[in-house]
Amino acid sequence: MFDQMVRDMTEWREQGFDDRFGISFGLNTDLAEHDDEYVLTVDLPGFETEEIDLRYDDGVLHLSASHGVAEESESTTSRRTRTVTERFALPREIVAEEIEASYRNGVLEVHLPVVEDGEEHGHRIDVE
């Protein structure tokens, strides 16, 4: 019985049930911290690169993606859309100009270089 429930939930998700009814099954994500960067990996199967939007603003990485599919049968045409929206708050300051992202085989990988501790923040003004 439990196995059938898992299969049903997987099928509902693939058919867009979670989007239409506001149910979130979550994303498979991993945020690894290295000495000089964070590496975020997100499983996003079924999307095209141009359907993924990434933005970094004020310590938060914003991810949104939307994929639409039209299905036709003999009498009807239906359209379903899969939409993903996530935010990732990062505890250390990021060098925004050096963020790099790639998407291959349904996996998004984002490299977020951190500001080194020795770097100055802002601009010092000499007082005479």
Placement of tokens 């239906």 in the chain: 78
Q: Is residue 70 part of a domain?
A: no
Please report whether residue 127 resides in a domain.
Answer: no
- Under the banding of pLDDT at 50, 70 and 90, the label for residue 18 is very low
Phi then psi for residue 78, to 5 deg, are: -125, 155
Assess contact for 78 and 60: CB atoms under 8 A. no
Name the β-bridge partners of 83: 66
In a domain, 33, yes or no: yes
Q: Which domain holds residue 42?
A: 26-65+84-113
Strand partners, 38: 33, 112
Residues 76-89 have pLDDT tens digits of 887 888 899 999 99
Q: What is the CATH number of the domain that holds 52?
A: 2.60.40.790
Give the number of other Cβ atoms within 10 Å of residue 114's Cβ.
Answer: 19
Q: How far is CA 25 from CA 41, 84, 97, 101, in A?
A: 17, 11, 32, 24
| Domain tally, the chain | 1
Domain-embedded: residue 60:
yes
Q: Is the pTM of this model over 0.85?
A: no
